Amino acid sequence: MDVPTGCGTALITPFRQDESLDEQALVALVQWQIESGIDWLVACGTTAETPALNDDEWLRVLRIVTEAAAGRIPVWAGCTHNATREAVERAKIAARVPGISAILSASPYYNKPTQEGQFEHFKAVARAVELPVILYNIPSRTGVNLDPATVLRLAEAQANIQGVKESSGNLPQITELVTQVPPGFHVYAGDDNMALGVIGAGGAGLVSVASNEVPAEMSRMLRAALENDWSTARELNHRYYRLIQANFWETSPGPVKAVLAMMGRIGEYYRLPLLPVAALTRARLERLAAELGLVARRIESKAI
């Protein structure tokens, strides 16, 4: 099974005021994402507040997303845990959900394993399933970097390890990977602000946070970059770069959920230890959303 190129959305998880899953809002988000031209979806990634979901909720989110997508685009399942046995078990469960097309798994968090520990961890996850496995390198969250040499060893050791989401923020490291990975192995940008740089180096696409808010625009930007239409890609990047940066004014997904609530897409509810964004951040986000026309879109939609 081939893994996609282009722009995938790391979906947020909408909650109700009582902190239960807002299943209706999640289905509506999936429908909107697909109608906007997104290339694939990631359910239960970092942006989804997955550490705050219990096992039943995690599985429920996977099922809601795949059922709403109905085979129209690929859906990746986030299967990350700091215990290898638990990560393996989650991958096995996710692989049995109809409509899941790949497993996305980050390095074990907090444990700070060595490169050899990460190699054995990911090898165990990949051996447990037949689906493609996408590695996820995000040192700011996990405390450890997944070195290019380890990624290359994993790609050689397990044929179903077919890509890496690179969120190290280290463009030289990402470029090193792009120039050495085997044919068919995809290197994805994991940070919106690195997308054009990674594509320019030869990357395959982006797993995006900003596409939660502007899926059509981010999809168009990535498609243009992959087709060497750099004028269009740069124009879109210039227009939405402030939003890309704003999504990390506070811990993600706080700002992106705040903007989606302003757009009328979700209720702005979180689970501790995350809280709503501070008043100053909210005021800045409101101004930016208005300047970009995101709030106006919501008003126009209600008027139809």
**CA–CA separation, 207 vs 10, rounded Å?**
6
**In the chain, alpha helices (H):** 23-35, 55-69, 84-95, 115-127, 139-142, 148-157, 171-180, 195-201, 215-226, 230-246, 254-262, 279-291, 294-303
Q: Annotated catalytic, 92?
A: no
**CA–CA separation, 190 vs 142, rounded Å?**
14
Per DSSP, what are the bridge partners of residue 161? 133
Per DSSP, the three-state class of 169 is coil
29 and 266 in contact (C-beta within 8 Å)? yes
Q: What is the CA angle 212-216-219, rounded to 5?
A: 90
Q: Which of 92, 112, 123, 165 is catalytic?
A: 165
Task: Please tell me what DSSP assigns to residue 9.
Answer: E
Residue 26: phi, psi to the nearest 5? -65, -45
Q: Annotated catalytic, 110?
A: no
Closest CA to 227 of 5, 10, 41: 5
- The residues near 84 (Cβ < 8 Å, ≥ 6 apart) are 108, 120, 121, 124, 125
Q: Which of 109, 112, 123, 136 is catalytic?
A: 136
207 and 165 in contact (C-beta within 8 Å)? yes
253 and 42 in contact (C-beta within 8 Å)? no
Which residues are known catalytic residues? 136, 165
